[in-house]
Chain A
Amino acid sequence: MTQAMEWIGNIVIIIGLIFMALGVFGIFRFRDYFSRILITAKVDTVGFITIMLGLIIKHGFDFFSGKIILVLALYIITNPIATHAITRSAHISGYRIKKER
């Protein structure tokens, strides 16, 4: 049973890694700031959630996983707010979207 959980956790972590790699690839592919921040806000958070869930599955449910859930909850709350604050400061300072060449 634990072997099966181990494998499921590993697969979920690999999926999370793929999301994180896509997030990093996204910020280099797009030329404009606003599409990059969209990638960071969304794809990176999904990657983070998937990796943390994989770790929780792999590690069973005890005090250790409780702390990982706490880190997960913190990150889910703070990352959107942080990316919103950055984009808000960009918008207020007059940085407008440029047409993709």
Chain B
Amino acid sequence: MDFDSIVLTIIAGLSVFGLVRVLDGPTVWDRMLGFALFSSKVIVAAVFIGIIINRTYMIDVALIYGVLGFIGTIMIARFVERKGDV
């Protein structure tokens, strides 16, 4: 259990709390906020996995996940803001 995998487990634990906020968030925006927090943890975890297995393709996975997560958040925000008729 070297340093990187300890940090990876800590980040995985923290990301669960982001999902708890998605579960019990009173408003839909709290849920989107919890998801944004969770996706940032997933990006960091992907970069750490890339470093642990020493392969560079995991960094691309983190990059693409970041872009798609961002687009998803923008679209959901637009959908909620316009009450359905985007």
Contacts and interface: CB of A to CB of B under 8 A. Distances in A.
A86 B10 CA distance: 27
Interface in B40-85: 40-41, 43-44, 47-48, 51, 56, 59-60, 62-63, 66-67, 69-70, 73-74, 77-78, 80-81, 83
Q: Is the interface of B mostly helix, strand, loop or mixed?
A: helix
B7 A89 contact: no
Q: Is the interface of A mostly helix, strand, loop or mixed?
A: helix
Contacts of A88: 77, 81
Range of interface residues on B (Cβ < 8 Å): 35 or more
Range of interface residues on A (Cβ < 8 Å): 35 or more
Interface of B: 3, 7, 10-11, 14, 17-18, 20-21, 27, 29-30, 32-34, 36-37, 40-41, 43-44, 47-48, 51, 56, 59-60, 62-63, 66-67, 69-70, 73-74, 77-78, 80-81, 83
25 contacts: A10-B3, A17-B7, A20-B11, A21-B14, A23-B37, A24-B37, A27-B33, A33-B27, A37-B33, A45-B40, A48-B44, A55-B47, A63-B56, A71-B66, A74-B66, A75-B66, A78-B67, A82-B77, A83-B33, A85-B73, A86-B36, A88-B77, A88-B81, A90-B27, A95-B27
